[in-house]
């Protein structure tokens, strides 16, 4: 049996004896194809030798791209607090969507120091987020939440164009409801008075 290479060489020789306008391009194409077949057969022979030597084909491996490790909040939050990077610290805590983490952070920072600086060390967006989260579960950590809510609400910009009246209402309405519920269940005393003060403050906004 003829090999593919021998057959193509035979056809090329036959074409060489024919006079026709298409003879030259066909002959050239066959010669190119013959060269390609020769190269492929050599590669196949080399591959066979490699298999005999190593017993297997070594396949290229792609290097694994390691993703950067997520920051550990238990390490990063204290570092940010110590560096007085309050905006970054609260943003990290709020994005975790764990109210307990936000409460923990509020316990770690000097509230009076944050709200006495000019300009304020935290953004309006952050203040609104704190209002939303600290207004939840008021029966837990009540004193801390009410103190922070009072400071936060006093610093809110009710004309903030980035938020708008409708979004403000969506944040403040649940807080108003939760404060009224708290007033109805806690005994008379400083906490009830503070809750009523916040309700009055909400009504004035």
Give the pLDDT mean for 172-189.
96
Are residue 197 and residue 128 in the same domain, yes or no? yes
CA distances from 118 to 47, 122, 128, 168 (A): 74, 10, 18, 24
Are residue 50 and residue 113 in the same domain, yes or no? no
Q: How far apart are the first and last CA of the chain?
A: 97
Q: Of 37, 102, 53, 46, nearest to 73 (Cα)?
A: 102
Give the pLDDT mean for 121-134.
95
- Quote the CA–CA distance of 80 and 90 in Å, as a whole number: 9
97 lies in a domain? no
Give the pLDDT mean for 138-162.
94
Are residue 114 and residue 198 in the same domain, yes or no? yes
104 lies in a domain? no
Tell me what pLDDT residue 122 has: 93
- Quote the CA–CA distance of 205 and 203 in Å, as a whole number: 6
Output the average pLDDT for the chain. Answer: 79
DSSP state of 18: -
90 lies in a domain? no
Tell me what pLDDT residue 111 has: 95
66 lies in a domain? no
Contact 33, 8 (CB under 8 A): yes
- Quote the CA–CA distance of 180 and 196 in Å, as a whole number: 8
Confidence of residue 47 (pLDDT cuts 50, 70, 90): low
pLDDT top residue among 62 and 103: 103
Positive or negative CA dihedral for 134, 139, 144, 149? positive
Q: Which domain holds residue 29?
A: 4-54
Which tokens is 28 given?
Answer: 């050239």
Residue 159 backbone class (left: φ over 0; alpha: ψ -120 to 50; beta: rest): alpha
Domain boundary among 18, 34, 54: 54
120 lies in a domain? yes
Contact 88, 80 (CB under 8 A): yes
Q: What is the CATH number of the domain that holds 184?
A: 1.10.220.100
71 lies in a domain? no
162 lies in a domain? yes
Are residue 49 and residue 115 in the same domain, yes or no? no
Q: Of 76, 106, 101, nearest to 88 (Cα)?
A: 76
- Quote the CA–CA distance of 184 and 139 in Å, as a whole number: 11
User: Could you tell me how many residues make up the chain?
Assistant: 205
Read off the pLDDT of residues 8-24 as tens digits, 9 standing for 90 and up: 555 545 545 555 444 44
Which tokens is 7 given?
Answer: 């057959």
pTM of the model: 0.65
Confidence of residue 66 (pLDDT cuts 50, 70, 90): very low
Number of domains in the chain: 2
Tell me what pLDDT residue 198 has: 97
**Percent of the chain at pLDDT exceeding 90:** 55
Are residue 114 and residue 182 in the same domain, yes or no? yes
Tell me what pLDDT residue 162 has: 84
Tell me what pLDDT residue 121 has: 85
Domain boundary among 36, 54, 72: 54
């Amino acid at each position: 049996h003829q090999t593919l290479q021998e057959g193509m060489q035979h056809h090329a020789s036959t074409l060489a004896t024919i006079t026709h306008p298409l003879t030259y391009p066909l002959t050239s194409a066959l010669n190119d194809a013959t060269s390609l077949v020769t190269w492929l057969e050599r590669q196949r022979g080399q591959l066979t030798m490699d298999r005999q030597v190593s017993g297997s084909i070594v396949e290229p491996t792609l290097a694994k791209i390691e993703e950067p490790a997520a920051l550990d909040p238990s390490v990063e939050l204290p570092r940010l607090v110590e560096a007085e990077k309050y905006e970054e610290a609260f943003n990290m805590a709020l994005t975790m969507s764990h109210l307990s983490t936000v409460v923990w952070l509020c316990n770690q920072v000097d509230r009076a120091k944050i709200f006495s600086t000019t300009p304020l060390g935290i953004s309006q967006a952050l203040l609104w987020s704190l209002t939303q989260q600290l207004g939840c579960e008021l029966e837990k950590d009540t004193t801390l939440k009410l103190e922070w809510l009072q400071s936060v609400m006093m610093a809110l910009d009710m004309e903030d164009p980035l938020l708008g009246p409708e979004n403000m209402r969506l944040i403040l309405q649940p807080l108003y409801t939760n404060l009224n519920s708290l007033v109805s269940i806690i005994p008379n005393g400083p906490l009830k008075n503070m809750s009523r003060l916040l309700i009055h403050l909400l009504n004035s906004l």
